């Protein structure tokens, strides 16, 4: 009988406040169901369980006109670069705040800001979910192109994006400058084919300015069109393709067409297989900026030696910034490891062996990054 009461107490205490839990213990003592010693033990056990429950909460609500969730994270990185005249040391790579709200059963909003370096607005959009097959997203958000481009940086297996992703998805080395893989526009998306709760075939179709984040489309009057199809034939396996057709104003000082509107097209293929412990991913991306044709691909494999804790990763990626020019291909061989302290804190380390065609240079690099969020 006492064992049954104890199990009932533990279950109820997890659903109650600390005050109500103490009242329940007092009642058990008054009815002589437990001794004072047992009561003290129950209070201690209840306190521990409530602390664990608080630590494992995925979100905390704040008072507002509508239900809002706030989250955020920061990433502190250390780099040691073999290349001469390059800075070695610490930098605050990212510091972001993310606000998500639900306006109605069918509409949600999101605002995400970057506070590191130059503060800027990354995401500002509303999403209307009419059903599983037809959803609308309006505002500034991630371009539906490339698996790695759309992956959350907090979940990325390695510290840095692959070369073709960084160069051809509106990121650091794209001719339109670093737009964090985002643009302003409208997107339709959802499932084309469903089987139970699984989206066997998914689609995204978007129209964007093509100018990047936080700016109006001043390059031209044309809009950029993006399409993406993902097929999930079996559990853990996904296949996809993306196409981007547009114009952009080049801002990179090394490009021949700086400041002028130019063709900016992209095509990509992707495959991924993921289990609880194993991940294998690969992408091929080619692009055209004005007359320059570019292409690259990568393959990544990771395995959790300790489930959900210690992960080992290796990756190869290659990128050719102009396939019409010889001796300009760069290849990276990367080995890395991740250790997840919990759901919101982890440390990553990777070493990159870099091979560049043309004049030889020692450009290998070591990176270590600590991430903490809330």
pLDDT at residue 36, rounded to an integer: 80
pLDDT at residue 31, rounded to an integer: 78
pLDDT at residue 84, rounded to an integer: 63
User: How do residues 82-120 score in pLDDT, each as one tens digit?
Assistant: 876 567 899 999 999 999 999 888 999 999 999 998 899
Domains of the chain, earliest start first: 2-55 (no CATH), 72-373 (2.40.160.10)
pLDDT at residue 219, rounded to an integer: 62
**pTM score:** 0.80
pLDDT at residue 7, rounded to an integer: 45
- E-strand stretches of the chain: 61-62, 67-81, 89-104, 107-114, 120-129, 135-142, 182-195, 198-208, 224-231, 237-245, 247-249, 261-274, 278-289, 292-306, 310-320, 330-342, 345-356, 365-373
Q: Token pair for residue 129?
A: 């979910």
pLDDT at residue 51, rounded to an integer: 65
Which residues of the chain fall short of a pLDDT of 70? 1-20, 51-65, 84-86, 218-220, 250, 252-260, 360-361
């Amino acid at each position: 009988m006492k064992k049954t009461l104890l199990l009932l107490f533990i279950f109820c205490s997890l659903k109650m406040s600390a005050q109500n839990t103490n009242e329940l213990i007092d009642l058990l003592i008054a009815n002589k169901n437990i001794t004072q010693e047992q009561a003290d033990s129950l209070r201690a056990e209840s306190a521990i369980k409530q602390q664990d429950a608080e630590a494992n909460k995925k979100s905390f609500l704040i008072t507002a006109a509508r239900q809002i969730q706030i989250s955020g994270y920061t990433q502190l990185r250390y780099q040691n670069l073999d290349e001469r005249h390059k800075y070695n040391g610490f930098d605050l790579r990212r510091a972001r705040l993310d606000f998500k709200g639900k306006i109605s059963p069918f509409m949600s909003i999101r605002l995400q800001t970057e506070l590191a370096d130059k503060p800027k607005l990354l995401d500002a959009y509303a999403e209307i979910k009419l059903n599983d097959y037809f959803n609308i997203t309006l505002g500034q958000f991630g371009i539906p192109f490339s698996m790695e481009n759309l992956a959350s940086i907090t979940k990325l297996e390695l510290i840095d994006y692959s070369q073709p992703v960084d160069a051809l998805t509106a990121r650091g080395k794209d001719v339109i400058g670093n737009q964090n893989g985002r643009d302003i526009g409208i997107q339709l998306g959802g499932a084309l084919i469903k089987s139970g709760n699984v989206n066997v075939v998914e689609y995204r179709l978007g129209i964007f300015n093509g100018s990047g984040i936080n700016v109006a489309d001043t390059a031209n009057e044309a809009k950029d069109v993006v399409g993406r199809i993902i097929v999930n034939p079996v559990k853990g396996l996904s296949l996809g393709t993306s196409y981007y057709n547009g114009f952009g104003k080049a801002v990179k000082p090394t490009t021949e067409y700086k400041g002028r509107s130019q063709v900016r097209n992209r095509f990509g293929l992707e495959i991924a297989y993921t289990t609880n412990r194993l991940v294998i991913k690969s992408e091929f991306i080619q692009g055209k900026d004005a007359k320059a044709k570019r292409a690259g691909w990568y393959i990544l494999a990771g395995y959790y030696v300790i489930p959900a804790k210690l992960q080992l990763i290796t990756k190869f990626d290659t990128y050719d910034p102009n396939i019409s020019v010889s001796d300009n291909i760069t290849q990276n061989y990367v080995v890395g490891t991740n250790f997840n302290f919990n759901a919101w804190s982890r440390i990553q380390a990777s070493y990159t062996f870099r091979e560049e065609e043309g004049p030889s240079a020692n450009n290998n690099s070591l990176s270590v990054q600590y991430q903490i969020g809330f």
